[in-house]
Amino acid sequence: GLYTSDHGPQYSHCNGTLWNPLGSGMSYEDFHFPVFLLKDENETEVIKQCYREHNIPGNDSAPNYPLCAMQLISPMHAVTSTVTCMRRNSIQMSFSINPGECSG
């Protein structure tokens, strides 16, 4: 569980709670490219169809223009540079409780 009796009676109902039981740890992976979550399966089909219709050449020729392209936007609200943000985050992580450990 997430909490033990050492944390106080107000958290006793949380003792049996599994922390991220189906998690794979992907949030801790370092991808060298942007990753976006598409919640609707149809969204990926729309992207694939656009690619097939406009980007795959036919009859051994170059594809016709305009090609299918899209711009994905991931707004980030930071007050400093990425380097500073990552450094601060790693400092915070060193003082965080590891959710994968159970002490009770």
- 82 vs 77: CA distance, rounded Å: 11
Flag whether 47 is in a domain.
Answer: yes
Tell me what pLDDT residue 11 has: 66
Q: Is 12 helix (H, G, I), strand (E, B) or coil?
A: helix
Flag whether 100 is in a domain.
Answer: no
- 89 vs 81: CA distance, rounded Å: 12
Flag whether 29 is in a domain.
Answer: no
Residue 100 has pLDDT above 50, yes or no: no
- 104 — pLDDT class (breaks 50, 70, 90): very low
Note down the domain range covering 54.
39-94
Flag whether 62 is in a domain.
Answer: yes
Q: Work out the number of other CB atoms within 10 angstroms of the CB of residue 69.
A: 9
Q: Taking residues 9-32, report their average pLDDT.
A: 70
Number of folded domains in the chain?
Answer: 1
Tell me what pLDDT residue 66 has: 85
Flag whether 57 is in a domain.
Answer: yes
Q: Nearest Cα to 93, choosing from 30, 28, 3, 31?
A: 28
Q: What is the pLDDT of residues 41-89, one digit of tens each?
A: 788 888 889 988 888 887 878 877 888 888 888 777 777 777 887 787 7
Flag whether 21 is in a domain.
Answer: no
Flag whether 78 is in a domain.
Answer: yes
- 24 — pLDDT class (breaks 50, 70, 90): confident
- 17 — pLDDT class (breaks 50, 70, 90): low
Flag whether 81 is in a domain.
Answer: yes
Find the distance separating the first CA and the last CA of the chain, reported in whole Å: 7
